[in-house]
Amino acid sequence: MKKNIHFSVLFAITLSSWAFAGVFKFQLRGYPKLERNCHAQTEAVAALFEAGMQAKVLHVECLSEKQTGYDFNIEYEAPEALEFVSTDYSFVVTHSPGRYREQSECLKKLPEQAALFEQVTHLKPAFSYCRSMELSVGKNWEVILIAKGRSEQIPELGGYMFFSKPLEVTEEVLKAQMNQALKNQGAILADMIFHNNSVMGTNGASIHYFAPKRVEFHMERVSQVTQPDICFQQAREVRAFMADYGDQIFGIYCGDRNLGYFDLHLGFLNKPRFSWSWAVDTFSSWNECERNRSEVLKHYEGSAVEVLLGGVCSRNYQIEKYQVVLFRAKK
């Protein structure tokens, strides 16, 4: 009996030592300067981490100082490394995480974004602040929300590039269409930011969203014509014959004049269930192509494996001829 008691005490002591044996690191980047010197702010950072993460902080060290914030390395003690859900995106390559031009604008929107974060993830942010991308231009203030735990819906950042600004459609309409397209994929739109400061002749849209897995965003130029009215008519036609694939599409619109032409843009999510390609016949002008369009489309009807959705006449810039762009889907 004594032997059993001795074993039970030893086992409890061992479990207790295992429970607090791990020391782990966490980096807090660009946290706003509240003190003139970085080391003077470490105590406050440690208190926030302990309160929000329920883990004992052993050491906080300053890593770097930027114009508007500090980077900290936090060492904490826990049975195992904590899991975090964060808008400090780990996978950012081509799309800017910045949302606002001014810090004041970011701070104004921060409570709204924090509330959405908590509603979607069911986690309360331990850190909630605005961070500046100090080497960037334009909209360089980003929202940083960090919470302990895991969530089925993870904050993600995606986007697309475009060469010309939309005509006859507002940013609010594009956001509403994106919101619906993401809902169709089981995702939730947090923010859609347009960066029109033209880098290398292009513009970009950054999509902040919550989803169980990453979503792919595509914006393609599917036709090119000389007159905006022709493009608008093509946009109406494409919307009509692509209606059955609207759950993937977040935008069909005409872009402003670019190198002398107006482009019809098609935006969709993930791998499309439809395709588009050039018909073989070439024409010297859009008018000639349009006169022959119905005959060309008739030729491509009747496939045993694909359904022809429709087609529009477009300039093929590679050969400087006009051809019918065919839109098809597998049966």
Q: Which of 94-98, 195-199, 254-258 has the highest mean pLDDT?
A: 254-258
Task: Please report which confidence band the pLDDT of residue 91 belongs to, taking 50, 70 and 90 as the band edges.
Answer: low
Query: What b/e sequence results for 281-304 when a residue is b if at least 16 CB atoms lie within 10 Å of its CB, and e otherwise?
Result: eebeebeebbebbeebbeebeeee
Residue 28 exposed, middle or buried by CB count within 10 Å (0-12, 13-18, 19+): buried
Is 47 a member of any domain? yes
Q: Is the dihedral of CA 188, 190, 195, 200 positive or negative?
A: negative
CA distance 152 to 330: 33
Is 173 a member of any domain? no
Average pLDDT on 112-125 reads: 98
CA distance 262 to 155: 35
Is 255 a member of any domain? no
Is 72 a member of any domain? yes
Listing DSSP states for 249-315 in one string gives EEEEEEEPPBTTBEEEEEEEESS-SEEEEE-S--BSSHHHHHHHHHHHHHHT---SSEEEEEEEEEE
pLDDT value for 21: 60
pLDDT value for 200: 54
pTM of the model: 0.87
CA distance 331 to 318: 31
Average pLDDT on 285-306 reads: 95
pLDDT value for 331: 87
Task: Please report which confidence band the pLDDT of residue 134 belongs to, taking 50, 70 and 90 as the band edges.
Answer: confident
Is 155 a member of any domain? no
Q: Residue 17: pLDDT above 70?
A: no
pLDDT value for 90: 78
User: Domain end: 47, 82, 117, which one?
Assistant: 82
Which residue in the block uniquely carries the two structure tokens 């479990």?
15
Which range of residues forms the domain containing residue 39?
1-82
Which residue in the block uniquely carries the two structure tokens 């009509």?
240
Phi and psi at 137, nearest 5°, equal -125, 165
Share above pLDDT 70 across residues of the chain, in percent, rounded to a whole number = 90
Task: Please report which confidence band the pLDDT of residue 13 belongs to, taking 50, 70 and 90 as the band edges.
Answer: very low
Average pLDDT on 107-131 reads: 97
End-to-end CA distance of the chain: 76
CA distance 125 to 119: 11
User: Domain end: 29, 51, 82, which one?
Assistant: 82
The closest of 83, 84, 76, 59 to 23, measured between CA atoms, is 76
The closest of 26, 49, 22, 28 to 126, measured between CA atoms, is 49
**Among 5-19, 79-93, 237-251, which stretch is predicted with the lowest mean pLDDT?**
5-19
Task: Please report which confidence band the pLDDT of residue 95 belongs to, taking 50, 70 and 90 as the band edges.
Answer: confident
CA distance 8 to 238: 74
Average pLDDT on 200-217 reads: 88
Task: Please report which confidence band the pLDDT of residue 192 belongs to, taking 50, 70 and 90 as the band edges.
Answer: very high
pLDDT value for 5: 41
Of 16 and 207, which is predicted with more confidence?
Answer: 207
User: Domain end: 54, 82, 110, which one?
Assistant: 82
Average pLDDT on 133-142 reads: 82
Q: Which of 6-15, 105-114, 193-202 has the highest mean pLDDT?
A: 105-114
Residue 31: CB atoms within 10 Å: 20
Q: How many domains does the chain have?
A: 2
Is 294 a member of any domain? yes
Q: Residue 198: pLDDT above 90?
A: no
Here the tokens at position 266 are: 């098609």
Is 119 a member of any domain? no
pLDDT tens-digit series, residues 145-169: 999 999 999 999 999 998 888 998 9
Q: What is the chain's length?
A: 331
Is 58 a member of any domain? yes
Share above pLDDT 90 across residues of the chain, in percent, rounded to a whole number = 81
